[in-house]
Amino acid sequence: MKQSQLFSKTRREAPKDEVAKNAQLLIKAGFIHKEMAGVYSFLPLGLRTLNKIIGIIREEMNAIGGQEIQMTALQDKKLWEASGRWDDAVVNNWFKTKLNNGSETGLAFTHEEPLTNLMKDHIRSYKDLPQAIYQFQTKFRNEERAKSGIMRGREFLMKDLYSFNVDEKSHNEFYERAKQAYIKIFDRVGLGNETYVTFASGGSFSKYSHEFQTLTEAGEDTIYVHEGKRIAINKEVLNDEVLKDLGILRRDLKEKKAVETGNIFSLGTKFSDALGLVFKDAEGKSKSVIMGCYGIGLPRLLGTIAEIWSDDKGLVWPESVSPFAIHLIGLFDEAGTVKKAANELYDKLTKKGVEVLYDDRDMRAGEKFSDSDLIGIPKRYVISEKTLADQSVEVKDRRTGKEEMVKMGSL
Ligand code: ATP
Ligand code: MG
């Protein structure tokens, strides 16, 4: 993409009411636009990054047998009444609205109820199981606080997968595979070192759920980390019983700030019982399906990457999620020689399938460099009269700041 054609502009200041570093940086770099508190739009650079994250998650979900669907945001009140979650005293962050005929509908904050209902049309016998169904879909949550930028939105995309199994044993096996897939996802997006599988409240169906907590001062959670075992315990459940269950000592734990970037849950038969999702076993007996749910908030993940992978100059994307692989910067001369060479290099790279953002604008070098630092593409190629004299390009690594001259022919 030619930067002269990119409609989004960088800016020096983020909106005054934006207090979160992730949103400040992403707004300044032209990745997102703030619509209102807790509500953000994605611009071309931001959407490219979001789609990279989606691509990684999709690969890992497909690898454990996930099948992708797309459900609706508008929800049937009846289904939520069946599970007892329509009540505002039970779920306090609903967005509800009225249809023209006066009846009510809700904007989904999660999808257990409608998916359980949907699966009733497709699951008859044990032969139809197991299943793992997922989507990338918008959730609406009327969050009380929206001070964490895109890490806590009132409208946000979530990857949510739901598993359906015949018994506890096969559920547990799938749950473990999903956990491993999550570990891979966090590794691949560049958060492997900072992310801990964290024991958290399991609700009423299992003793614990597992949160994926990523260490950052921007996080709203407090966790207790066991560095040796690479696990953590959420403050909410830290007690003698958990320590005993995990075979660890209180003194080996360190208190840290973290953000819940993912959460996997065993649901048991709570939703299948409430909505009547049953199957016939090999003896023809009717049984409730065992379910699990597995969520990752996409903007939260992206915002966490921005918090961790940034410095005083701007964003520093890991290669795997960067909007482009290379930021090509032309420092043009009067004669047009540099522009011609830069255009040619851009064409060659894009023909090879390399994703290049090409700064072809007529601007001062300093402005181009500070924009480039702000946007944070991992590799920068600078082409100028000086580098051309050597038939070279200056290659700079955004993270280490290391620069080297590389001959055009060997790029
Ligand atoms: P929190 O405790 O931070 O409010 P939660 O436990 O309510 O989150 P879940 O219902 O477990 O969230 O949702 C699954 C995942 O969706 C979370 O692990 C997180 O990554 C993401 N998520 C939850 N709420 C938001 C939000 N408001 N904005 C962005 N992502 C979110
Ligand atoms: Mg959670």
- Residue pLDDT, tens place only, 156-200: 999 999 999 999 999 999 999 999 999 999 999 999 999 999 999
Tell me the two tokens of residue 70.
Answer: 């797309």
395 and 304 within one domain: no
Predicted confidence band of residue 202 (pLDDT cuts 50, 70, 90) = confident
Place of tokens 């509908």: 105
Number of domains into which the chain is organized: 2
Whole-angstrom Cα distance, residue 354 to residue 338?
21
Domain membership of residue 321 (yes or no) is: no
151 and 229 within one domain: yes
Rounded mean pLDDT of 284-313? 98
Rounded mean pLDDT of 94-105? 96
Domain membership of residue 1 (yes or no) is: no
| pLDDT over threshold 90, residue 392 | yes
pLDDT tens-digit map of 101-157: 999 999 999 999 999 999 999 999 999 999 999 999 999 999 998 889 999 999 999
CB 260 near ligand 1, within 6 Å: yes
Measured at the CA of 348, the angle between CA 342 and CA 349, to 5 degrees, comes to 90
Rounded mean pLDDT of 306-331? 98
373 and 251 within one domain: no
Residue whose CA lies nearest to ligand 1 atom number 28:
152
CB 153 near ligand 1, within 6 Å: yes
Angle between helices 298-308 and 21-28 in degrees, nearest 10: 90
- Tell me the DSSP string of 64-118: TT-EE----SEEEHHHHHHHT-SSTTT-TT-EEEE-TTS-EEEE-S--HHHHHHH
Tell me the two tokens of residue 143.
Answer: 């969050």
Tell me which of 254, 279, 311 is where a domain ends.
311
142 and 276 within one domain: yes
CB–CB of 276/270 below 8 Å?
no
76 and 179 within one domain: yes
| CATH number for the domain harbouring residue 200 | 3.30.930.10
Domain membership of residue 2 (yes or no) is: no
Domain membership of residue 319 (yes or no) is: no
Predicted confidence band of residue 350 (pLDDT cuts 50, 70, 90) = very high
Indicate the SS3 state at residue 54: helix
Domain membership of residue 318 (yes or no) is: no
pLDDT of residue 222: 98
Mean pLDDT score of the chain: 97
CB 143 near ligand 1, within 6 Å: yes
248 and 386 within one domain: no
290 and 364 within one domain: no
| pTM for the whole structure | 0.97
Predicted confidence band of residue 49 (pLDDT cuts 50, 70, 90) = very high
59 and 125 within one domain: yes
Q: How far, in Å, is the centroid of ligand 1 from the Cα of 260?
A: 7
Give the ligand whose atoms come closest to the C-alpha of residue 140. Answer: 1
pLDDT tens-digit map of 203-247: 767 899 999 999 999 999 999 999 999 999 999 999 999 999 999
CB 297 near ligand 1, within 6 Å: yes
375 and 267 within one domain: no
Residue type, 128: D
141 and 273 within one domain: yes
109 and 47 within one domain: yes
CB 152 near ligand 1, within 6 Å: yes
Whole-angstrom Cα distance, residue 298 to residue 49?
10
Q: Tell me which residue range forms the domain holding 271.
A: 7-311
356 and 241 within one domain: no
| CATH number for the domain harbouring residue 330 | 3.40.50.800
Whole-angstrom Cα distance, residue 279 to residue 123?
6
Q: DSSP class of residue 153?
A: -
